């Protein structure tokens, strides 16, 4: 690799890396509010929030990497053009394709990374995020102890006041729906527990919350009518997370399945949770997102070119709009394939084929025709249309002025 290519490679890597970090931080800001709301009553809010953020990173990396690659190449070429280094390199006989090789190398590496992120890290991370959220909601025992509110946790409804001195709470009311061994909640009835005072502690070994009650009574009601005695107690304890409901197994939908699992289930022989169309549409979508990165350098380099004394900065804006529209188009094609309206591969790879043709045309015109940069020509074309439109308006107004 020549010194020029190494120079471009370093510049592009720094820019792309910074954009990836910046994009992930921006995308996480909105989700952080919801995460903090979920873990606000958790026993270990810092640990649970960190776990949820880590599991979300693969999803946001899948969004940030294509955007960072496109913008990073555009910015690198734009700076290279503005400093007249591009003109000097071309004057020395270096072709535009030769200068594009470092960006192609970066795209190949990022394509492989994206294939792993989209195919394994994202589905596993999505499932782990949902599992942590499920556990946090069950363990948020303190949420039931807000003053003047009734809160449901599992088969229990809690009410607690906080008007007592110190750390004590009270009065406490607990409504518990009972069920038999078959899960029928109508046979066993319900249990009511009241106490004048309670204290919330956390076990050091397991970090499980425990509500210690004092001076209370327990009633059991059968069939909605029969009162099967009552039990008075001086002290009692209720564990908030003593029996957590186990979260479901991974693979409830196609977004939680890895690419290898989707490939194994492409004929619907592995699981019945996902239809064949949904399975294959998601598989093609993930593969297309990886292939997309291999095309972006051939679009980004022409978008970043600037010649002459009037450089253009439209490449960044048009590139962002194009990439966002492309991502939405791929998702729309995936939804059509998942619904069985079109073959799962047709819409997705049709869009990729059109994009590849556009990239080949715009790069060929920039690298071998040596005319104006594509966006500069586009701006001149728009200016020409605008001028013609103004002439038409002037022509239409002139006869009216003469008539007057």
Residue ranges per domain, the chain? 3-137+250-392, 155-239
Range among 108-112, 275-279, 314-318 rated most confident: 108-112
Mean pLDDT of 119-137: 87
The pLDDT, as a whole number, for residue 113 is: 95
Question: Alpha-carbon distance 127 to 257, whole Å?
Answer: 9
Query: What's the sign of the alpha-carbon dihedral 338, 341, 346, 349?
Result: negative
The pLDDT, as a whole number, for residue 193 is: 86
Over residues 326-338, the pLDDT tens digits come to 999 999 999 999 9
More confident site: 74 or 144: 74
Q: Quote the tokens at residue 37.
A: 């709301």
pLDDT of residue 120 exceeding 70, the answer is yes
Which residues in 116-153 are b (16+ Cβ under 10 Å) and which e? ebbbebbbbbbbbbbbbbebbebbbbbbbbeeeeebeb
Question: Alpha-carbon distance 132 to 50, whole Å?
Answer: 10
Beta bridge mates, 218:
193, 231
The pLDDT, as a whole number, for residue 242 is: 45
Over residues 35-55, the pLDDT tens digits come to 887 777 666 778 888 899 999
Mean pLDDT of 377-384: 53
Per-chain mean pLDDT for the chain: 81
Residue 103 binned pLDDT confidence (cut-offs 50, 70, 90): very high
More confident site: 259 or 313: 259
The pLDDT, as a whole number, for residue 328 is: 93
Residue 74 burial (CB count, 10 A): 25
H/E stretch holding 156 reads strand 156-160
Is residue 161 helix, strand or coil?
coil
The pLDDT, as a whole number, for residue 250 is: 84
How does DSSP assign 255-274, residue by residue?
Answer: GGS-HHHHHHTTTS-S-SSS
Mean pLDDT of 158-186: 69
Residue 153 C-alpha from the chain's centroid: 28
């Amino acid at each position: 690799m020549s010194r020029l290519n190494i120079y471009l490679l370093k510049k592009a890597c720094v820019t792309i890396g910074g954009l990836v970090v910046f994009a992930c931080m921006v995308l996480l800001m909105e989700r952080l509010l919801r995460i903090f709301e979920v873990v606000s009553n958790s026993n270990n809010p810092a640990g649970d929030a960190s776990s949820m953020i880590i599991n979300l990173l693969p999803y946001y990396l899948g969004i940030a990497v294509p955007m960072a690659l496109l913008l990073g190449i555009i910015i690198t070429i734009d700076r290279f053009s503005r400093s007249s280094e591009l003109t000097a390199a071309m004057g020395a006989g270096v072709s535009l394709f030769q200068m594009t090789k470092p960006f192609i190398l970066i795209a190949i590496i990022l394509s492989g990374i994206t294939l792993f992120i989209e195919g394994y890290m994202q589905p596993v991370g999505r499932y782990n995020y949902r599992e942590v959220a499920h556990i946090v909601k069950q363990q948020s025992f303190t949420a039931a102890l807000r003053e003047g509110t009734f809160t449901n946790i599992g088969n229990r409804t809690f009410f607690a006041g906080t008007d007592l001195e110190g750390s004590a709470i009270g009065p406490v009311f607990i409504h518990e729906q009972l069920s038999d061994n078959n899960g029928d909640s109508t046979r066993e009835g319900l249990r009511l527990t009241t106490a004048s005072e309670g204290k919330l502690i956390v076990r050091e070994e397991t970090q499980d919350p425990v509500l210690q009650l004092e001076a209370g009574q327990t009633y059991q009601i059968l069939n909605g009518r029969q009162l099967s005695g009552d039990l008075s107690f001086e002290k009692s304890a209720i564990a908030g997370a003593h029996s957590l409901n186990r979260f479901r197994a991974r693979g409830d939908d196609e977004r939680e399945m890895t690419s290898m699992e989707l490939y194994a289930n492409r004929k619907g022989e592995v699981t019945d949770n996902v239809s064949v169309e949904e399975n294959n549409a998601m598989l093609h979508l993930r593969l297309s997102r990886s292939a997309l990165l291999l095309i972006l350098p051939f679009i980004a380099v022409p978008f970043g070119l600037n010649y002459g004394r009037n450089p253009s900065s439209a490449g960044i804006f048009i590139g962002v709009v194009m990439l966002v529209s492309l991502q939405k188009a791929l998702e729309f094609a995936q939804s059509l394939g998942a619904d069985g309206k079109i073959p799962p591969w047709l819409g997705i790879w049709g869009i990729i084929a059109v994009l590849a043709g556009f990239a080949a045309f715009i790069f060929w015109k920039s690298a071998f025709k040596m005319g104006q940069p594509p966006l500069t020509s586009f701006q001149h074309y728009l200016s020409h249309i605008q001028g013609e439109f103004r002439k038409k308006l002037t022509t239409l107004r002139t006869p009216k002025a003469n008539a007057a």
